Amino acid sequence: MDKPAGQLELTIGSRLESRRRLIDLSIEQMARHLDIDPATLRSYEQGLSRISPALLVRVAELLEAPISYFFHPPNEVGRHAGSLEQRATAESS
């Protein structure tokens, strides 16, 4: 029996998807880089599956984000230094 998605899985999945989209990487491209099935990546993004710590490290490296980025809702990330999205937007301006 599948356990319902917990808040942690939902937060990690949401952050993973937003960062992937920010750097304009498709699910298929990212899955290929990680050597996983796109459906598996989709389930992580939707918070339906729990991502392993080892894979999360690889995801963070690929998306050029610190591990901590994936554990906090957007309004909590970088309260003092600004979020990655805000910094990326500012740098591209």
In this predicted structure, what is the pLDDT of residue 44?
97
The residue length of the chain stands at: 93
Q: Residue 35 — very low, low, confident or very high, per pLDDT cuts 50/70/90?
A: very high
In this predicted structure, what is the pLDDT of residue 72?
82
Calculate what percentage of the chain has a pLDDT beyond 90. 68
Q: Which residue ranges form the domains of the chain, and what is each CATH number?
A: 7-92 (1.10.260.40)
* Mean pLDDT in residue range 22-39: 97
Whole-structure pTM value = 0.74
Structure confidence by residue, pLDDT tens digits, 41-73: 999 999 999 999 999 999 999 999 999 999 887
Distance CA(84)–CA(28), nearest Å, equals 23
- The closest alpha carbon to 30, from 14, 41, 46, 18, belongs to 41
